[in-house]
Structure 1
Amino acid sequence: MKRTAALVALAAVPVLFLGVFFVLPVSGMVGLGLVSDGRFAPGEALEVLGRARVHRVLWFTVWAAALATAITLLLGIPAAYVLHRLDFPGRTVLRAAFMVPFVLPTVVVGIAFKHLFAGALAGLALDGTPVPIIAAMVFFNLAVVVRTVGTSWESLDPRPAEAAAALGAGGWRVFRTITLPALRTSIVSAATVVFLFCSTAFGIVLILGGLRYATIETEIYLLTTAHFDLPAAAALCLLQLFVVTLLLYAAHRARAAAPVPVERRAPGARRIRRTDLPAVLAAGVALVLIAFPVLDLVTGSLRHDGNWSLANYRALDQVGQGSLVEASVIEALVNSLRTAFDATWLALLIGGLVSVIVTRRSHSPTERRVRAGLDGFFMLPLGVSAVTLGFGFLITLDEPPVNFRDSPMLVPIAQALVALPLVVRTLAPVLAGIDDRQRQAAASLGASPLRTVLTIDLAVITRPLLAASGFAFAISLGEFGATSFLSRVDHPTLPVLIFRLLGTPGSHNYGMALAAAVVLAATTAAVMLLVERLRVPGVGGF
């Protein structure tokens, strides 16, 4: 009974945090979509879902995400094999390079592909079509497949494949009958996450699609900010919440049904053979897709009035001409760093408590049920997009007793909720892997609970905790979905300022946006490279 009471007391802080800053905003959004004039009126939400434009938005969301997911798998699986099973010079650097796009702010990815297809690839006449959107989605999500599938692939026992090859099976048959079934769990997991990220893409689609090509995410934003149709936006939020929940449940069932290899060991990488050339070629295509837009963005930022110049960078301490944002790029960067710092310590505090709660061993059926219920509750933010969260903040946290509308902590809180699942995903597996007998032995020797945590848990979790801090900081630094609803005109974050500069006419503003995007990308990439050095192989994250 004491353990259950202690568990409830430990869970009080994260439960209260999620109750106020997640359940309340989502409930307010649900109420706005289903309640009209104080009465339950789901018919109005159904009317919104019956609009022809909503049908087009929904269809584009589904087919674009499905196509981007398929292409990401086709390029990412061979790249995972090359980077995790083959040995060649520069492999570590390339593995880190493949991870950088995943933490690049979506506005940076959007402006990079906008500049690429409107400039170097303008002769293809693809600017303004779905092609840049899908290419940007693939660019952004390749890291998910490479990390998820590659980590699983490098630990596969090679002996079954070697035995099949010795019996005369060709390379493709060995892959189809031996390797692919063994990788099914990781491939299903990666495909689900990629489809989820593509279907909820916001900054990329908003910049590259405009009004013509909209996903549910961008349509919610446009209905809220351009048309002020809050009930319609709430109805789309409900639809998205329902679809994402179904997708997460289907992914859980698929992973549970997927066969898991009985024996796994690290076979070590081997040198490239002639039979590996198709995979190497596909990995090369993926590398070009990653490198070309970034290089084009950097070169574009160094051009001013048709000449090579640093003028765009020298203008970063100025306010854009005619811009709606009353801050310079330097000021916005400082705001972003401060906000990301606050979001990081919040995500670590809540995520650390959640990780401890869900990984401790239960000693009674009651404790087990309480822990399982808390685990499910803490995972609820996975089913809600950042745009939906920001919209919920906007309509619910502006009146007493929870009036946070003018609080400087509102944006950090929203960003902390976005980063929270990744923090838990990084820390929980490490805590779960600690043998509880070590804690019991420390307690039997007279160690207090606090000393036990400091000497056993903290010693094991130090590097993953630093890695989780880097992940949370990088994600918060580039977060745009929720922040676009909540950021003030006089106190913008850098992603919001870049988007405002892109939407303001003038070559001066466009050049500043390119330079600001490079600065933001370099900052997040530096954080990501540091995280890669701190990462514990095979533990958490993507």
Structure 2
Amino acid sequence: MRWGERAALPAGVAATVATLVVVFYYPVGSVFAEAVLDAGRLTAVPLLDVLSDPFYTGVAHHLFADPLGVPAGIASWVAAGFPSVRFGLFGFTAYQAALSTAASVLLGLPGAYVLARYDFRGRRTLRSLTIVPFVLPSIMVAVGFVAMFGKTGLLNDLLGALGLGSVEILYTLEAIIVAHAFYNAPLVTRLVTTAWESVDRRQVETARAMGASPLSAFRDIVLPTLLPALLTAALLTFVFTFMSFPIVLALGDLRLATVEVWIYARVQALDLSEAATLATLETVLSLALLYVYLRYEASQRSASGAGQSLPRRPLTIGRQTLTSPVRLAILGYGVVAAVVFLGPLLSLLVESVTAPDGSFTTAYYEFLLAQQASTAVGTTKPLPAIVNSLLYGAGTLLLAVPMGVVVSVVATREGRGSRLAEAVLTAPLAVSGIVVGLGLLQTMVFGTVLFGYRFVAVGPVAIVVAHAAAAYPFVTRNVTPALGGLDTRYRDAARSLGASRVRALVDVELPLIAGAVLAGAAFAFAISVGEFDSTVLLAEGADSYTMPVALERYVGNRSVGPDLGPATAMGTVLLFVTGLSFVVIDRLGGRWESNR
């Protein structure tokens, strides 16, 4: 038994690594291999075919098709008076990511200013809520935007009631940018708020005492402290929006396709070779951007926050608001933020019970029940989708929580090797779900020949392991700070009394950080329930689809017509199940801790 306890932790690390090799590194590696191997030999032909295709790289295709002719081409372009040029699929993907990043920064910065510089009732709660968009299913949010900004959506209903004209931004680049801001502006707010609160009050007061104006003090003291966090948030937002899939699929389709959406379209057309090539190029670009982010973060890391923070001013909205430009601007920002962040979710709920004539109806929920009772082949039924999502979520917890805890134990060990191991073990954060799903489709679902036998995994198994690969890093992100912050004397006392390392972990450390473990479990479950990217590729069978996949199917042709009602009803069910699951796990965790 003692030998087994001593071997348990190394065995756990080995099992985690082996699991990642099977469910992540090998599938993703197979995608890369298909793009660079031909009959077992290295080749750059598929990559060059894509890079030299104007559809994918636009005017930049000359760099690969005719590099020697580039200088003459630039000279001709200048001589022609700088006419407009096309940048292709990759260029458009980067363009919409840049616009989405700008919108996220513009929407998130005022929120950071309010949270960092003002004190008001509910400030801490509001700051905590900035994490909520990260656990909301993106396809559900996309349908919420359809319900809000569609021709018969809530916004146009309100404008019609006021006698104003309707607005149409749905299925446009603007709608995609606003939806991306919904997800990423809270990230900007969260990171910049933390940086703003770390500004040393004494440095600002010293600058003011030496005659600096408020603007000069902000420029010389506050802004240099905010800039690293702002650039970090902008770079992360660019990476996330560059790899965005469900938002673009639902609000843009192939008319505004990004690289992710086109990879999905190639898989649907069974052109797996081209899909693998595009996935390889996209992953290389995203990894390069993340490498730049990590290097920049490491260069900016410093021991800040040692001094006193800037004092917060009380914020009250009253009569003086109309005479105070700053408070009036804050009030206006609050209205805009409420429309962007609360509008889509509220519209989802309202439109699910609103008939085209504006009256209350339960017809859309009755339609879901009728779908459930239907015997037609290919019918998307809501109950199997709900059951599948819950079962996949439970299976994800069984894999993701132990994996996340093991990675946290490795990450909290001293030494450079532990940091390298943590980076290797959390690599799934840097690879999109579409790429992981494509790799699992090629290796597990289609089968892998090993020792003369073909090993095939059914769709549900592939879905669970894909969800676990996406979810366990979030367990690690919750557990690692708590585990690293524990007083080492607890562990040392247990070890001195004869406990093995794994026994000390199980009996002493994990009970002390049970809240963090359960918080990670709640995130993992919510991520599994809402995961769409990999699931939509793997749930092609009639019985393996989940709630997000069913929701996408109910959207149908994405026109604002009869299909919108069932989609909003299914989206409301998804919102309810996701929220209820998150609350149940959190409440059970709190009750467990109190019983301890």
TM-score by length of 1: 0.88
Matching of residues 198-209 of structure 1 within 5 Å: 198-209=241-252
Q: Which of 480, 502, 511 is the equivalent residue of 2:555?
A: 502
Measured in 2, the distance between the counterparts of 1:256 and 1:134 equals 30
Measured in 2, the distance between the counterparts of 1:173 and 1:340 equals 52
| Range moving further from structure 2, 27-36 or 129-138 | 27-36
Asked whether 1:394 is paired with 2:441, we answer: yes
SS at match of 1:319: helix
Distance 1:6 1:473, change over 3 A: closer
Distance 1:324 1:513, change over 3 A: farther
Asked whether 1:160 is paired with 2:203, we answer: yes
State the Cα distance separating 1:526 from its structure 2 match.
4.5
Measured in 2, the distance between the counterparts of 1:180 and 1:146 equals 15
Asked whether 1:453 is paired with 2:500, we answer: no
SS at match of 2:460: coil
Measured in 2, the distance between the counterparts of 1:157 and 1:337 equals 47
Measured in 2, the distance between the counterparts of 1:177 and 1:275 equals 24
Asked whether 1:342 is paired with 2:344, we answer: no
The Cα RMSD (Å) is 3.1
Runs of 4+ in 1 over 6 A off after TM superposition: 2-7, 320-324, 529-536
Matching of residues 273-422 of structure 1 within 5 Å: 277=327, 278-279=329-330, 281-306=332-357, 307-319=359-371, 325-362=378-415, 369=417, 371-397=418-444, 398-401=447-450, 403-406=455-458, 408-422=460-474
Distance 1:152 1:7, change over 3 A: farther
SS at match of 2:495: helix
Distance 1:452 1:5, change over 3 A: closer
Task: Tell me which residue corresponds to 1:520.
Answer: 574
Matched letter for residue 365 of structure 2: Y
Measured in 2, the distance between the counterparts of 1:308 and 1:272 equals 39
Measured in 1, the distance between the counterparts of 2:183 and 2:94 equals 17
C-alpha contact (below 8 Å) 1:106/1:203 kept by paired residues: yes
Distance 1:101 1:505, change over 3 A: closer
Measured in 2, the distance between the counterparts of 1:109 and 1:224 equals 24
State the Cα distance separating 1:527 from its structure 2 match.
5.0
Distance 1:266 1:475, change over 3 A: farther
SS at match of 1:405: coil
Measured in 2, the distance between the counterparts of 1:70 and 1:332 equals 37
Task: Tell me which residue corresponds to 2:515.
Answer: 463
SS at match of 1:212: helix
Measured in 2, the distance between the counterparts of 1:414 and 1:472 equals 12
Matched letter for residue 293 of structure 2: A
| Range moving further from structure 2, 401-410 or 320-329 | 320-329
Measured in 2, the distance between the counterparts of 1:180 and 1:525 equals 38
Measured in 2, the distance between the counterparts of 1:374 and 1:325 equals 45
C-alpha contact (below 8 Å) 1:102/1:143 kept by paired residues: no
State the Cα distance separating 1:143 from its structure 2 match.
2.2
State the Cα distance separating 1:534 from its structure 2 match.
11
Measured in 2, the distance between the counterparts of 1:201 and 1:222 equals 14
C-alpha contact (below 8 Å) 2:202/2:307 kept by paired residues: no
Measured in 2, the distance between the counterparts of 1:491 and 1:407 equals 7
SS at match of 2:270: coil
C-alpha contact (below 8 Å) 2:514/2:589 kept by paired residues: no
Asked whether 1:231 is paired with 2:273, we answer: yes
| Range moving further from structure 2, 263-272 or 287-296 | 263-272
Distance 1:377 1:324, change over 3 A: farther
Task: Tell me which residue corresponds to 2:491.
Answer: 439
Task: Tell me which residue corresponds to 2:71.
Answer: none
Matching of residues 476-495 of structure 1 within 5 Å: 476-487=528-539, 488-495=541-548
Task: Tell me which residue corresponds to 1:240.
Answer: 282
State the Cα distance separating 1:350 from its structure 2 match.
0.7
C-alpha contact (below 8 Å) 1:157/1:264 kept by paired residues: yes
Q: Which of 547, 562, 565 is the equivalent residue of 1:511?
A: 565
SS at match of 2:448: coil
Structure with max Cα Rg? 2
Asked whether 1:190 is paired with 2:233, we answer: yes
State the Cα distance separating 1:68 from its structure 2 match.
1.0
Measured in 2, the distance between the counterparts of 1:230 and 1:313 equals 38
Matched letter for residue 294 of structure 1: L
State the Cα distance separating 1:390 from its structure 2 match.
0.1
Task: Tell me which residue corresponds to 1:539.
Answer: none
Matched letter for residue 176 of structure 2: I
- The alignment covers a number of residue pairs equal to 528
Task: Tell me which residue corresponds to 2:43.
Answer: 41
Measured in 2, the distance between the counterparts of 1:440 and 1:164 equals 48
State the Cα distance separating 1:97 from its structure 2 match.
4.5
C-alpha contact (below 8 Å) 1:79/1:280 kept by paired residues: no
State the Cα distance separating 1:257 from its structure 2 match.
1.9
| Range moving further from structure 2, 289-298 or 519-528 | 519-528
C-alpha contact (below 8 Å) 2:448/2:455 kept by paired residues: yes
Question: Which whole-Å deviations, capped at 9, do the CAs of 1:298-320 have from their partners, x for residues lacking one?
Answer: 22111234232122123333328
Task: Tell me which residue corresponds to 2:131.
Answer: 99
State the Cα distance separating 1:455 from its structure 2 match.
4.7
| Range moving further from structure 2, 112-121 or 46-55 | 112-121
Asked whether 1:214 is paired with 2:257, we answer: yes
SS at match of 2:532: coil
TM-score by length of 2: 0.81
C-alpha contact (below 8 Å) 1:49/1:236 kept by paired residues: no
| Range moving further from structure 2, 278-287 or 496-505 | 278-287
SS at match of 2:256: coil
* Structure 2 unaligned regions, length at least 5: 58-87, 157-165, 317-323, 591-596
C-alpha contact (below 8 Å) 2:176/2:248 kept by paired residues: yes
State the Cα distance separating 1:178 from its structure 2 match.
1.8
C-alpha contact (below 8 Å) 1:244/1:383 kept by paired residues: yes
Task: Tell me which residue corresponds to 2:64.
Answer: none
